[in-house]
Amino acid sequence: MANDILRVLYRGVVKVGIIASRLRALQDKQWAKGMEDRLGAGRWEQLTATDLVWIHCASVGELNGIIPLLTELKEILPAQKVLLTTTSITGQAEIEKKSLSPHHCLLPFDSYSVVKKIVKRIKPRLFVVSETELWPNLIERLAKEKVPLMLINGRISNYSFPRYRWARNYFAPLLNRFAHLLVQTEVDKERFLAIGASADKIVRAGCTKYDKPAPQFSAAELTKVKQEFGMSSEQVTFVAGSVRPGEEKIVIETFKALLDKHKNFQMIIAPRHADQYEPICEMLKSYGLNIHRRSNGPVVGSVDVLLLDTMGELAKTYALCDFAFVGGSLVDIGGHNPFESAAYGKPVVMGKYVNNVREIALDLQQQGGMQIVQDASAYVAAIEKLLTDEEYRQSAGAKALTVWQKHQGATKQVCAIIKSYLE
């Protein structure tokens, strides 16, 4: 009875969502661009390839997480066509920018008539969804057409878990339509079991995004970048990467306080989003710090802080720095990927909000490659220890690298299962 009510409610939500989207498209030109795809027309009607492997990712983050998988598939199954779908327009732009696949569309609305038309037309060989995007009508239709379903990089956040558990009787049949549920961590495995997934379908496989190789730079390139960034071998360089609003004040105040005590200290601060560049620049100036914006070209002389207000250069700073803070963790965002720094053998500091990367964060902490701090005062202590204790810094960096190496391999496991279906 409860499930019937939920189904009726869901159908109503889908109908209301379609109406709201049509109205939004009348005023939002960007949103209007995707309406044809979302209604099962547009690029769906232009799609002539069949027997595709259909891989769905919500947006840019999930797409970047499957790049190692796409690379591996091209190597082991070079003739296999892949269809990539996203729920966001920015995701589609990322596919085009990185040439991830010539076949890509926005995911349609989860209307039964729309998904029925699409599935019958393209006849996918396999459907793979990254993380936990459960679209009931799409799943039911794919299962009815006997298309194998796989979930990879599966995770259930602290925020979502209570809702999934509350609607367990509704989600359990959907999850059990999947042939394989490849989850990231032991905690995720327990949560999938708690919401009704069959134990024989769940495999703890890790996450393919951690198989993405760290960008490599030649010695000559790093020397050039070091000069342009104004980095000195006589100073300890700290990178505050992917800093989110609410964190910048703690990061900047801590740096300023420690710089007053330790003159051999410099910082590179990299905001997560471009709209933070100006506010952070003004805040740095308000503390009387000597700053340089990377967008203004190479540093001339020496500076206290380099504001990294350009795209695509954060990896270089991690490769060159002595230690790093990874943001989205002093505020309740869930934490960004600490392996971006650990892959270069650099120790990491993060705040307590690491739900998005909980297993690797805890592993890094337990193995001594990272400090997870509970508050601002603990953050200051962690930064000062890394600044002043070179032996500790070197040891922690080596341990961080070892943990990163240990977490490689999810892509091979995922590809082996995919290949077993396609052969």
What would the two tokens of residue 79 be?
A: 């003739």
Cα torsion angle, 187, 191, 193, 194, sign: positive
Catalytic residue among 36, 45, 62, 75: 62
Burial per residue of 27-65, b for 16 or more beta-carbon CB atoms within 10 angstroms, e otherwise = eeeeeeebbbbbbbebebeebeeeebbbbbbbebbbbbb
pLDDT digits (tens, 9 = 90+) for 119-171: 999 999 999 999 988 999 999 999 999 999 999 999 998 888 999 999 899 89
Query: What pLDDT does residue 259 have?
Result: 95
Burial class (CB in 10 A: 0-12, 13-18, 19+), 243: buried
- At 257, the pLDDT band (50, 70, 90 cuts) reads very high
pLDDT digits (tens, 9 = 90+) for 174-191: 999 999 999 998 889 999
Q: Which of 121, 122, 102, 53 is nearest to 82 (CA)?
A: 53
Query: What pLDDT does residue 325 have?
Result: 98
Query: What pLDDT does residue 3 have?
Result: 64
| 62 catalytically annotated | yes
Give the domains, in start order, of the chain with CATH numbers.
33-207+409-422 (3.40.50.11720), 219-406 (3.40.50.2000)
Q: Does residue 103 surpass a pLDDT of 80?
A: yes
The residue behind tokens 């190496």 is 405
Query: What pLDDT does residue 246 have?
Result: 96
Query: What pLDDT does residue 7 have?
Result: 74
For the residues 345-351, what does the mean pLDDT come to? 98
Q: Does residue 8 surpass a pLDDT of 80?
A: no
- At 2, the pLDDT band (50, 70, 90 cuts) reads low
More confident residue, 31 or 92: 92
What strands lie across the sheet with 103-106, from one edge to the other? 103-106, 82-86, 53-56, 126-130, 149-154, 180-183, 202-204
Give the separation between CA 310 and CA 269, rounded to whole angstroms: 11
For the residues 18-29, what does the mean pLDDT come to? 85
From the centroid of its chain, how far is CA 230? Answer: 30
Query: What pLDDT does residue 213 have?
Result: 86
Give the separation between CA 201 and CA 417, rounded to whole angstroms: 12
Instruction: Identify the weakest region by mean pLDDT among 1-5, 185-189, 328-332.
Output: 1-5
Burial class (CB in 10 A: 0-12, 13-18, 19+), 261: exposed
Give the separation between CA 286 and CA 292, rounded to whole angstroms: 14
Mean pLDDT of all residues belonging to the chain: 93
- At 363, the pLDDT band (50, 70, 90 cuts) reads very high
